[in-house]
Structure 1
Amino acid sequence: MIRHTALGGTSFSRSRALKLLIDAGKVTYAGNRKLKIYGTFSCSSGKRMKVDNRVFFTDEQEAISCGYRPCGHCMRKAYQKWKALN
């Protein structure tokens, strides 16, 4: 898990470092640290969250192992499966 604020001191340096991680395939999902929810980069809910709460995951298994659940908006099928089990 990588915290967004750990990627750099300025907004530009954080977004540049994040783009490099995404292009290299080292980051595939984003999450909200306080709500313990993860989802895709294109999620409208995820785009509105505060930078301090934003974290990134290498894959879905990493997010699940850290105790995060799927987003109900961008990952509806995974969320419904998670909800049925909990």
Structure 2
Amino acid sequence: MQINHIDLGNRPFIRSHNLYRLIAAGKIKLGGNKKLKIYGTLKCGSGRRMKLENRVFFKNEEEALANGYRPCGNCMPADYKLCKKNNGTI
């Protein structure tokens, strides 16, 4: 299940609180860019710069791949190279 960042609350503080709660519960482990269909780690610098309305979250890599996302070349270079080599599949 893809979680949209914008849907976590109507104010920044509420969104942050809900996001940290979901991360602590293990329900979110990866972030992604809805517009570009890229996913990566939550600590990726590329992910931190994206627009809020494009930010989505996933529980695991299988979920991201099932939604048609590819690995980030910045924070997941090995997976990205493998995906690129295999024409979009890992």
Provide, for residues 6-34 of structure 1, a one-character-per-residue CA deviation record: whole Å limited to 9, x for no partner.
10000110010000000000000000000
CA distance in 1, matches of 2:14, 2:51: 17
Superposed displacement of residue 75, structure 1: 0.3
Q: Which amino acid aligns with 1:60?
A: E
Partner of 1:51: 52
CA distance in 2, matches of 1:85, 1:56: 24
Superposed displacement of residue 66, structure 1: 0.1
* TM-score, length basis structure 1: 0.99
Partner of 2:69: 68
3-state DSSP of counterpart to 1:31: strand
Q: Which amino acid aligns with 1:9?
A: N
Identity rate, percent: 55
Partner of 2:10: 9
Equivalent pairs, count:
86
Q: Which amino acid aligns with 1:44?
A: G
CA distance in 1, matches of 2:54, 2:13: 18
Residue ranges of structure 2 left out of the alignment (5+ in a row): none
Runs of 4+ in 1 over 3 A off after TM superposition: none
RMSD in angstroms over aligned alpha carbons? 0.3
